[in-house]
Copies of this chain bind each other. A is one copy, B any other.
Amino acid sequence: MNLTTRTGTPLRRRSLHEELTEALREMIVSGQLPMGQKVPEKDLCELYGVSRTPLREALKVLATDGLVNLEPNRGAWVSAITVEDLDEMFPVMAALEALAGELACKQITDDEVEAIRALHNRMLGHYKAGELPEYFALNQQIHEAILAAAHNDTLTVHYRSLSTRVRRGRYMANMTRERWDQAMAEHELILDRLAARDGAALSVILKDHLEKTSVTLRESLLGQQGG
């Protein structure tokens, strides 16, 4: 049998702690494990049918990602996001996304632009239909696609780490109509400048877009904390 056509095998097997890390991350992001709550080791072990060793390994990883806090001899807590955290995280995310835009413009192909345009149009549909959750999902995908077009794994890893932490909770849901209109307009600009390969302008727009998103989230989070 000739195997030469088969290129560098991905075929990467996954270990238990890796799968657990992903599963737990998903549970935290989706809110199944609420912020501020203690991570119930025993229950999770039973839920996934594993012993505590791999679970604890997964928690160590999540701790470096900032999704849980480990208190020595006291266990793990799902980390809560404060307004101060957001104020710290968004400038960093904005800088990273601006870079992603710049890099993407340098090498993005027409096909990739068209794929993003397709996502954009679907998002536009959900916007017009007033379907907020679907809008958010597409919005997320577009930002991921820009990141992917930058072809820089390091950038992707760091951006995603922050994005995952921010994306938690449900406080995104209460976005005003005005802000939504504005965000959609910004996305038109993003697509336009990306198609034109105008990296300088795109990075400014992305930075600005994320800054405004930050303000929205901030107020929403404040509203939750205050009331």
How many copies the complex holds: the figure is 2
Residue in B closest to A98 when the chains form the complex, CB atoms: B95
List of B residues within 8 angstroms of A152 by Cβ: 88, 91-92
In the bound complex, CA of A161 to CA of B162 (Å): 14
Whether the Cβ atoms of A158 and B158 lie closer than 8 Å is: yes
Q: Does A121 contact B (CB under 8 A)?
A: no
Residue in B closest to A90 when the chains form the complex, CB atoms: B154
Whether the Cβ atoms of B88 and A155 lie closer than 8 Å is: yes
Residue interface mask A131-155, B partner, CB < 8 A = 1: 0000000000000000000001111
Whether the Cβ atoms of A88 and B15 lie closer than 8 Å is: no
| Chain A interface (Cβ < 8 Å from any Cβ of B) | 12-15, 17-18, 53, 56-57, 60-61, 63-66, 70, 72-73, 85, 88-89, 91-92, 95-96, 98-99, 103, 152-155, 157-158, 161-162
List of B residues within 8 angstroms of A63 by Cβ: 61
Q: Which of B13, B65, B96 contacts A73 (CB 8 A)?
A: B13
List of B residues within 8 angstroms of A12 by Cβ: 72
Majority SS at the chain A contact face: helix
Q: List 6 A-B contacts (CB under 8 A).
A: A17-B60, A64-B64, A64-B65, A88-B154, A91-B152, A158-B161
Q: Which of B61, B95, B161 contacts A96 (CB 8 A)?
A: B95
Whether the Cβ atoms of B88 and A96 lie closer than 8 Å is: no
List of B residues within 8 angstroms of A57 by Cβ: 56-57, 60
Residue in B closest to A97 when the chains form the complex, CB atoms: B95
Residue in B closest to A150 when the chains form the complex, CB atoms: B91
Q: Which of B60, B155, B161, B162 contacts A60 (CB 8 A)?
A: B60
Q: Assuming the A-B contacts A56-B57, A57-B56, A60-B17, are A155 and B91 also in contact, with contact meaning beta carbons closer than 8 angstroms in the complex? A: yes
List of B residues within 8 angstroms of A91 by Cβ: 99, 103, 152, 155
